[in-house]
Structure 1
Amino acid sequence: MSINHERLHAEREGDFVVFLVGMRINRLRAVHRWLPVFLSAPRMIREQEREPVGLLESRSMLVSPREFQFVQYWESFAALRDYAREGGEHRSMWSRFNGELADGAVGIWHETYLVREGEYETVYRNMPPTGLGAAPGTDQVPAAGQRETAGGRLGVTDGSDAPVAADGGDRR
């Protein structure tokens, strides 16, 4: 992946969804209980890549030796909900987790955030496209002018409120 050295901001038309989902291994020795849940996550991503129904981008993170998380960007809550409820890998694992795997050896969690157009801000520097900036249909534009600061990118300032100058000096 090519690294973009300039300061960039991701801009996207329309609303989108940020979905955080993770698992925690509660009993390390119960591998037969948590391993199926752990292995289902990459299968769900591959399923989405083969037949996309709204997943724009997904990033995985190892939080600790016991915790694994994904940050996902979805085109809409309806697309996320439809994927979760339809047949396929997620529906199958959801049933297993609530049935035979519900003994507490592994925990799962998720949080869903509905993001309105223009009510988010991003900045990337010395990074390849990542997160929202890597999602299809998202443009990466220079974080300059009004987009110079978080407040400017959110439209609450004119972008002249940066405490640090481009050369690293203090603006105050």
Structure 2
Amino acid sequence: MNEVFPGRYTARPELESVTVFLIGMRANRWWKLRRVASVAREMPRMLGHLAEHPDAGMLGCHSWFGRTTLLLSYWQSPEHLQRFAADRDAPHLQPWRDYMRKLQGSGDVGVWHETYQVPVADQEAVYVDMPAFGLARATRHVPVGAGMQTARQRLGRSGGRKSPQESS
């Protein structure tokens, strides 16, 4: 079990930006178990490969499994993510091609992804009585200290810097 850190913590990435990548699948016709399983079994292979190759650029991830499966991952850059996706030697490109050839358009299994490039100055995170999680687990997990007590402070907006909404 993951160690629980009592108190309040935040994430402090040492990058200028973090690429947040959400990817998942949905069993639209769950009774077609063989087709659903053919897609679902590929993710553990990809995650194993990424764990063995930290130079690929994935900083960390969390996953949830259900009818709609979700993998939340953090990457060094969009270029790292795109390089992995297109790498013929990594276990992603061929499963994607197989899905597109065999299942795309059938309606049996849906796949989706979303990618966000987040400047570190525009992210804020807080974790209370939690194991190291999310962005903090993927980067740096630090106690909330002086000058970081509020979301506004963690976003760096208390010292005169205005958010885009405040500037309008």
Fold shared per TM-score above 0.5 = yes
Q: How far apart are residue 155 of structure 1 and its match? A: 1.2
Matched AA of 2:64: M
Which amino acid in the other structure matches residue 32 of structure 2?
A
Q: Which residue of 1 aligns with 2:18?
A: 16
Task: Look up the match of 1:120.
Answer: 123
Tell me, what secondary structure is at the counterpart of 1:12? Answer: coil
Residue number among 57, 61, 64 corresponding to 2:64 in the alignment: 61
Is 2:80 the counterpart of 1:51? no
Residue of structure 2 equivalent to 1:129? 132
Unpaired runs of 5+ in structure 2? 160-168
Q: Which runs of 4+ in 1 moved over 4 A?
A: none
Aligned sequence identity (%): 35
Match of 1:31 in 2: 33
Aligned to 1:165: none
What is the aligned length? 154
Structure 1's unaligned 5+ residue stretches are 159-172
**Counterpart-to-counterpart distance in 2, 1:94 and 1:139:** 32
The aligned amino acid for 1:24 is R
RMSD across aligned C-alpha pairs, in angstroms?
Answer: 1.3
Q: CA deviation at 1:117?
A: 2.3
Q: Distance in 2 between the 1:67 and 1:11 partners?
A: 30
Q: Which deviations, in whole Å up to 9, do the C-alpha atoms of 1:49-95 show, x marking residues without a partner?
A: 11220011010013xx4111010000110000000011222101110
| TM-score, length basis structure 2 | 0.86
Q: Tell whether 2:147 aligns with 1:146.
A: yes
Give 3-state SS (helix, strand or coil) of 2:11's partner: strand
CA distance in 1 between counterparts of 2:47 and 2:108 reads 23
SS in 2 for 1:5: strand
Name the TM-score, length of structure 1 as normaliser.
0.84
Deviation at 1:157, TM superposition (A): 2.3
CA apart distance, 1:106: 0.2
Per-residue deviation at 1:132? Answer: 1.1
SS at match of 2:129: coil
